């Protein structure tokens, strides 16, 4: 499996990742680190605990990491959460909406991890 095939399998934007990271070696290095990134678990835990500060911090970090990696769906969802929990702004997302967004992040993240694991085992 190539990086381009991985990105197609996980609905990522390979060209976007290439614009940011410039070479396949860096894309490979960083995409393979994504499954172990603790910011996702931090978002899941902080959302369950309704810890607004941690929800903001973890979703903001996910937005940046996924944006740089061309994982536009994850980055977009994280951006929506980030803006709703940005300090100083009135919260625009209800608890049930937060739960739904976090569930969607979890689903896409888990599907991406599955694809990344397959990519790691089938690298060409």
Range 63-68, long-range pairs (CB < 8 A, 24+ positions)? 65/34, 65/37, 65/39, 67/20, 68/17, 68/20, 68/21, 68/30
The tokens for 27 are 């894309």
- pTM equals 0.95
Q: What is the pLDDT of residue 30?
A: 98
Confidence of residue 123 (pLDDT cuts 50, 70, 90): confident
Domains and CATH numbers, the chain: 3-122 (1.20.120.160)
Q: Flag whether pLDDT at 112 surpasses 70.
A: yes
pLDDT digits (tens, 9 = 90+) for 57-99: 999 999 999 999 999 999 999 999 999 999 998 999 999 999 9
């Amino acid at each position: 499996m190539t990086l381009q095939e991985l990105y197609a399998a996980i609905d990522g934007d390979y060209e976007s990742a290439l614009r940011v990271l410039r070479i396949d070696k860096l894309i490979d290095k960083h995409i393979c680190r994504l499954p172990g990134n603790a910011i996702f678990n931090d978002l899941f835990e902080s959302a369950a605990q309704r810890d607004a500060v941690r929800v903001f911090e973890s979703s903001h970090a996910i937005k940046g990491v996924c944006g740089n990696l061309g994982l536009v769906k994850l980055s977009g969802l994280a951006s929506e959460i980030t803006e709703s929990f940005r300090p100083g702004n009135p919260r625009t997302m209800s608890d049930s909406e937060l739960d739904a967004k976090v569930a969607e992040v979890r689903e896409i993240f888990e599907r991406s991890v599955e694809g990344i694991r397959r990519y790691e085992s089938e690298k060409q």
